[in-house]
Structure 1
Amino acid sequence: MSDGLNDARAIRITEIMTDFRNLQYYLSQLRATPTAEEYYLEGFVLLRNCTTEAQTILAKPFAAAPSSSADTPDKQREQLKGIIADAAVRRFQCQKLYLQAHAGLRWVSTRTSILRGQKPNATHLTALQAADVALRNELLAISDAHVEYTLRNQDAAEGKWLAEDPTLAQIQQMISRR
């Protein structure tokens, strides 16, 4: 028996996919131009990895169980729930990449401020090491729980319907199966 929430589910899919699209757009716009000497520094590697992982997420096929026909409200409900789960996982993954990329961009900005157009030398060493440590600490703070918390808080603040969004444990389980 249908529960009458398929319209709410369809709207939720649109909301999640809009967030996903915005995150993908941001991640596709990342541009860092390191010199040959800087190419393998962790902040620049991080930015390249975020871009590559975002493209990989976008290229993955839809993960929900296919429905032979969505002609009844119950079949539609199950199909919509599957789409919500898949979209929520993709958005979660991109949000995490977004937060990591922001940390990488702050690292690039800090590095640029420290060097002020100069080549790195002994006078910069302590400040550059501090920037590296700050990046590592910031990345450690971007846990799955933090990412899930930021997404749920944002959605709740905007009054979105979250009743069927997957939990963090479900998201982690879906990611591990991929």
Structure 2
Amino acid sequence: MADFRNIQNYIAAIRASPSAEEYNEEGYLVLRRCVAEAQALLAQPFQTQGAGKGGEDQEKAHLRRIIQDAAVRRFRAQKTYLLATAALRWVNSRTAVLQGHRPHAGHAPALQHIRNTLRAELTSITDQRVELSLRSADTSAGKWLEEDPSVGTMQRLSGNALDRRVKN
């Protein structure tokens, strides 16, 4: 959960102020979707169904749900963060190209290159890549991974909410 909190803090610190002309540019759209996903993820309550007093099996099942919920939230937050940082690189590259000027025909090749780079980065942020990055970090930190859900389980539990938002 500490990792989830740290990722959420990074996302909350994102600041981008597009002009009216830039508001619907691809990178700014991705940033707004990422911020909305992060807010939705924070607002989503933990489903406590079956969390009453029961036997040892019920307690184990409840603990398993807690672990799965935490893993899915962290997974979704990490994916959101990776998408947001790709969009921020786009913002910074665009700013460097325009150097405070309005875009004109002379900027077109550089802006197209930046747009293509953003699209390639967004495409490369797959669920498998996110899972690998999280598992690698956990392994390096010596964390216990036995109860962590697989990427398939996390996809099923999260319903791929972020994928649907980014593609729309």
Q: TM-score, normalised by structure 1?
A: 0.86
Question: What are the residue-to-residue correspondences of 1:105-120 with 2, within 5 Å?
Answer: 105-120=88-103
Superposed CA offset, 1:111-169 (max 9, x none): 01101111101110000010000000000000000000000000011000000000011
Match of 2:126 among 129, 139, 143: 143
Unaligned residue ranges in structure 2 (runs of 5+): 162-168
Question: What are the residue-to-residue correspondences of 1:126-137 with 2, within 5 Å?
Answer: 126-137=109-120
Distance (Å, rounded) in 2 between the aligned partners of 1:117 and 1:152? 41
Q: Which amino acid aligns with 1:61?
A: P
Distance (Å, rounded) in 2 between the aligned partners of 1:156 and 1:73? 29
Q: Which amino acid aligns with 1:152?
A: R
Contact 1:64 1:86 in 2 (8 A): no
Moved over 6 A (4+): none
Note the aligned Cα RMSD (angstroms).
1.5
Percentage identity across paired residues of the two chains: 47
Matched, 1:157 2:148: no
The structural deviation recorded for 1:63 is 3.1
Matched, 1:53 2:41: no
Question: What are the residue-to-residue correspondences of 1:1-178 with 2, within 5 Å?
Answer: 17-63=1-47, 65-69=49-53, 73-176=56-159
Q: TM-score, normalised by structure 2?
A: 0.91
Relative to structure 1, the CA distance from residue 96 to residue 177 in structure 2 (aligned partners, 3 Å threshold; closer, same or farther) is closer
138-147 or 60-69, which moves further after superposition?
A: 60-69
* Structure 2 SS opposite 1:165: coil
Unaligned residue ranges in structure 1 (runs of 5+): 1-16
